[in-house]
Amino acid sequence: MTTDAAIDSTGTGLDTGAHQHGYISDKDRYLARMKRIEGQARGIAKMIDDEKYCIDILTQVSALTRALQGVATGLLDDHLKHCVLDAAKLGDDAAIAKIQEATDAINRLVRS
Amino acid sequence: MTTDAAIDSTGTGLDTGAHQHGYISDKDRYLARMKRIEGQARGIAKMIDDEKYCIDILTQVSALTRALQGVATGLLDDHLKHCVLDAAKLGDDAAIAKIQEATDAINRLVRS
Amino acid sequence: MTTDAAIDSTGTGLDTGAHQHGYISDKDRYLARMKRIEGQARGIAKMIDDEKYCIDILTQVSALTRALQGVATGLLDDHLKHCVLDAAKLGDDAAIAKIQEATDAINRLVRS
Amino acid sequence: MTTDAAIDSTGTGLDTGAHQHGYISDKDRYLARMKRIEGQARGIAKMIDDEKYCIDILTQVSALTRALQGVATGLLDDHLKHCVLDAAKLGDDAAIAKIQEATDAINRLVRS
């Protein structure tokens, strides 16, 4: 939705006209987490292929779900602290539009 | 936890002494689902690497979480319909032990 | 375990004949838990009426949600240990029908 | 919506008297929803007392959980649109403190 590239980020994401998404200062950490999650998914596939006990597989599925939720709430926090606060500097309407997107995402997350 | 191999499965998993886990008759389908989930995780990592909009990433995280929950409730259903019913043939105590494992897994799932 | 009582269960019609629901041996405990949950709901209404801080209200809503999930997983456990095992004594088909109901309930619970 | 500014914020994210919570303009609607939720809890207690079928009770517990989550995400949305935006006018630090509280609440909600 935002098409402008982050041209001149200070790392805070707070003072660029060209807005930078909040999570980008932590990009490497998020990539490492997703790499780990991908590995967890592959591990679960291997457990199924090895015909491991269903309950043990379920335990790993719950762990993977929790890891994903950690990524989701982290992204949300960064969104609120960066995208929303940046938008707030442009006026309430801009900020409220961003918050509405966040609320919709929270709804999907809580329901999922 | 079950160490006995499925020696003589009829495909239903219901009448073998050597118990077969319930999901195994659907093993290929579960493997395909996990392969898809792994691909979704990789897709999310790529979105982060490409610095896509946080809310769009969150939408994909919710979709992945739902896919995982589908796998989890599928495995649970198979566990109840096969492992628990097989155990019930050995007596209530055996079945109740299996159900307790399922309940604990459900608790972890609902909380995760 | 109990195979008698509940003589004229009408309700949904899914629940047949001379079977007593699993939770009934714990009925007083469940009633006490629901009474407490009702009190928690009333407490949250009072916090809103007293215009308490939104985040503090949210903390109580989360606590109430967890209490409800505890009731739900307890009822499920009782359902599996009693209704399903009783049905298993009548044959696999009867048990699988009861398990399917449980699985559907778990799906609603995990998604809710 | 907020009629008075936060005059005396300490920047700690504590809730000072001079600020009106976001949900208050909708107070009557929230009170009505909580009244309905209380009624749902009472209805579930009655189902247990009447020894209704466990699965039917679980369906009502899921409905109640969803109703509660609706209240929770509504309160969060109001918190972000009012408390956080009001705080943003006082500076990033004040807003970030409020957002941190919201993130913690979202974490509790997603996990609950």
Kindly report each contact of residues C92-99 with a partner whose C-beta sits within 8 Å and lies 24 or more positions away, as own/partner.
C92/B14, C92/B85, C95/B85, C95/B88, C96/B81, C96/B85, C99/B77, C99/B80, C99/B81, C99/B84, C99/B85
> Smallest CA–CA separation between D111 and chain B, in Å?
6
Fold of C24-111: Methane Monooxygenase Hydroxylase; Chain G, domain 1 (1.20.58)
Judged by CB atoms closer than 8 Å, whether chains meet at D57 and C51 is answered as: no
Identity of the residue in B80, B85, B111 whose CB atom sits nearest the CB atom of C102? B80
**In the structure, what pLDDT confidence band is assigned to residue C3 with cuts at 50, 70 and 90?**
very low
Q: What is the pLDDT of residue B112?
A: 72
pLDDT truncated to tens, each residue of chain D (112 aa)?
Answer: 333 333 333 344 444 444 567 777 889 999 999 999 999 999 999 999 999 999 999 999 999 999 999 999 999 999 999 999 999 999 999 999 999 999 999 999 988 7
Give C70-100 pLDDT, tens digit per residue.
999 999 999 999 999 999 999 999 999 999 9
**In the structure, what pLDDT confidence band is assigned to residue C19 with cuts at 50, 70 and 90?**
low
Is A112 an 8 Å CB contact of chain C? yes
Give CA angle at C20 (C17, C25), nearest 5°: 170
Measured CA to CA in angstroms, residue D43 lies from C10, C27, C34, D56, D86 at distances of 18, 15, 10, 12, 40
What kind and span of H or E run contains B91? none
Q: What is the pLDDT of residue B21?
A: 73
**How many angstroms separate the CA atoms of D17 and A98, rounded?**
27
Identity of the residue in B22, B62, B105 whose CB atom sits nearest the CB atom of A59? B105
Q: Chain B, 14-73: which have a CB under 8 Å from a chain C CB?
A: 14, 69, 72-73
**Chain A contact partners (≥3 CB pairs within 8 A):** B, C, D
Q: What is the pLDDT of residue D19?
A: 59
Measured CA to CA in angstroms, residue D20 lies from C52, D5, D17 at distances of 10, 8, 8
**How many angstroms separate the CA atoms of D85 and D95, rounded?**
7
Residue ranges covered by each domain of chain B: 22-111
Interface confidence (ipTM) of the complex: 0.80
Average pLDDT score over residue span C35-52: 97
Closest residue in chain D to residue A97, using alpha carbons only: D81
A26 token code pair: 């932590």
Mutation for D interface: A84, A89, A100, A112, most D CBs within 10 A: A84
Is C96 an 8 Å CB contact of chain D? no
**How many angstroms separate the CA atoms of A66 and A70, rounded?**
6
Give A32-77 pLDDT, tens digit per residue.
999 999 999 999 999 999 999 999 999 999 999 999 999 999 999 9
| Crossing angle between the packed helical segments B54-78 and B92-111, to the nearest 10 degrees | 170
Mutation for C interface: B110, B111, B112, most C CBs within 10 A: B110
> Given this structure, which CATH class describes domain B22-111?
mainly alpha
